[in-house]
Amino acid sequence: MSYLSKKEYSLAILQLKTQASYRKNLETLVHCIKINQDKNLIVAPEVYLTAYDYDNFKEAYSFYNIAIETILPLISNQILIFTIIKKEGEKVVNQAIVIYNHKIVYRQNKYKLFKIGDEHKYFTAGEKEDINPFTINGVKYAIIICFELRFKELWKRIEGVDIIIIPAMWGKARQKHLEILSQALAIMNQCFVVVANSANIDMAKSSSVTYPWGELTKNNKLKLISNNIDLKEVTKVRRLVSMR
């Protein structure tokens, strides 16, 4: 059944701190998946499992296989979206992964690296042409990874989708930028925008869902933000805007 035919589409937005132990982080993610089996979509922050652990970078990208082998059996009827550090040949990438029905159904490497955080020294950037909408059960999705939210040429690539997902590790000093840009993206595209940001001490939190008309739901005190949305609002708001 298409998600578009359901009155409510349920979200679980994870706003979590990354601990020093990768395995503890994985255990937390597994727990969150298990208690949200009734949700249609679960989104975790950018590189939640390891953070940008440059001091132990080999261990960080080597954790990929352990994480994927643990998570795949848990995801059946819902969708899980997160990013993870992965080695591809001689390159290391920050890869967004979409898991559905026990399979990885979409991958997207981070294209715009955050040079202030030295990402360009450790990661190979993805290709802009690989940032594309994808469809699952009749719903059109797109992913923008953290810093990429600032670039309008990427907004153009994902026009017309129903839900934009933003896994992020966005700093506290630029909290307002995250909030304003994600809200503007939802209003401009008349779609839902879901942000899952890190809760680390120096991070902005501000995990949220913004509605096509610009209304915003967020709570910086919660580790899990649950929300039900009506995907038909996308069509309704787009019709209203086109009539103006």
Q: Residue 6: its pLDDT value, please? A: 61
CA 107/CA 105 separation, integer angstroms: 7
Mean pLDDT of the 144-172 span: 97
pLDDT on residue 242: 83
What is the pLDDT at residue 14?
A: 98
Domain harbouring 191, CATH code: 3.60.110.10
Q: What is the mean pLDDT of the chain?
A: 96
- Does residue 1 have a pLDDT over 90? no
pLDDT at 133 > cutoff 80: yes
**160-186 residue pLDDT tens:** 999 999 999 999 999 999 999 999 999
Give the model's pLDDT for residue 243.
67
**Average pLDDT over every residue of 127-153:** 97
In a domain? residue 212: yes
- Residues with Cβ within 8 Å of residue 154, at least 6 apart in sequence: 111, 112, 128, 131, 144, 148
What is the tens place of the pLDDT at every residue in 220-233? 999 999 999 999 99
Query: Domain for residue 4, yes or no?
Result: no
The answer to the question of residue 1 being in a domain is no
> Is 34 inside a domain boundary?
yes
- Is the predicted pLDDT of residue 191 greater than 70, yes or no? yes
State the residue range of the domain holding 164.
9-242
Please give the share of the chain, as a percent, with pLDDT higher than 90.
95
**13 in Cβ contact with 225 (< 8 Å):** yes
Whether residue 40 has pLDDT greater than 60: yes
Contact 48, 16 (CB under 8 A): yes
Tens of pLDDT, residue by residue over 18-36, are 999 999 999 999 999 999 9
Cβ-count burial of 153 within 10 angstroms (0-12 exposed, 13-18 middle, 19+ buried)? exposed
CA dist., res. 107 & res. 139, Å (int): 17
Within a domain: 3: no
Question: Is the residue at 227 inside a domain?
Answer: yes
48 within some domain: yes
Quick one: which H or E segment has residue 154?
Answer: helix 152-157
Non-local (6+) Cβ contacts of 97 within 8 A are: 68, 81, 82, 83, 84, 104, 106, 107
**pLDDT above 80 (res 4):** no
Mean per-residue pLDDT, 196-202: 98
**2 within domain boundaries:** no
pTM for this prediction: 0.96
For the cut 90, the answer to whether the pLDDT of residue 234 exceeds it is yes
Range 57-82 average pLDDT: 97
Residue 140 makes CB contacts below 8 A (sequence gap 6+) with 133, 134, 160, 161, 162, 163
Domain count within the chain: 1
Tokens 């700093």 sit at which residue?
Answer: 171
User: What is the token pair recorded at 10?
Assistant: 């349920």
**φ/ψ of residue 194, rounded to 5:** -115, 120
Which residue from 93, 146, 95 is spatially nearest to 123, judged by alpha carbons? 93
What pLDDT was estimated at residue 215? 95
- Alpha carbon distance 223, 50 (integer Å): 17
